Structure 1
């Protein structure tokens, strides 16, 4: 199944932030991971909220550029430069996240997201640097683990997500599912 690499970013972002992988043990329609994710967001320090905002923005820009590159709407040379910038921004973001106290409950999740976005931007940049259409086969292992979980994340949490994230993850899930 051909899958565009941008799909990895949006689904990974949702998973990395703790949106998914739980059970509805109380029968109230909210699974334990959803409750935990809500608690994490409520407990964020102002610094962590700002870093999370930057990580989400960077994930969104990387996803959009990846999609535009994959569809041919953005030339490889332009995509390559943007993705190089995003990888650099991701490195700076990762350094800033390291400055959060280790006790901050969101530190690990934001770090995981910033590293994933940085790595994905580098991967896409390397592909764009060839001037050829993207080759998703390099991401097959990662995608296979995200497909099922990504669909569950979107189905369970779409109403809680901001509109832009909901649209991005919805597109990613459709792409992963081959719809």
Structure 2
């Protein structure tokens, strides 16, 4: 069965919270300091996505495969001031078992279309850097330390 991307609803937030947590475990274990991922469990992530949707902070999309959410992406107004683009890709995650399936590409295409955007990505994430570069993003020389996730360095990419 082929995967599908659609706009998320409030009924999806528990699954999105689970995917968000599992994707962080799969992607950032050994990179984030011990305990950082666990300090933000799936239930708290689901609450965060509920607030995101109810407060209309942006758009939230899910990738489904065989009736299960296996990835998601969010877009919204840029969080930095002054903004370098009108929209920011706030997050995009696909569970590791579905890397290479095309669902990440579909999430990006549906959530952004051909629009210019900014995003922040972990400096130590070559897989993500390659994905974004294939999609026209490049580092603009701006970086920051993300204290929420254990003082990891992130870089901004734009297209």
What TM-score results when the alignment is normalised by the length of structure 2? 0.30
Larger proportion of helix: 1
With normalisation by structure 1, the TM-score equals 0.28
Bigger fraction of residues in strand: 2
Larger Rg: 1
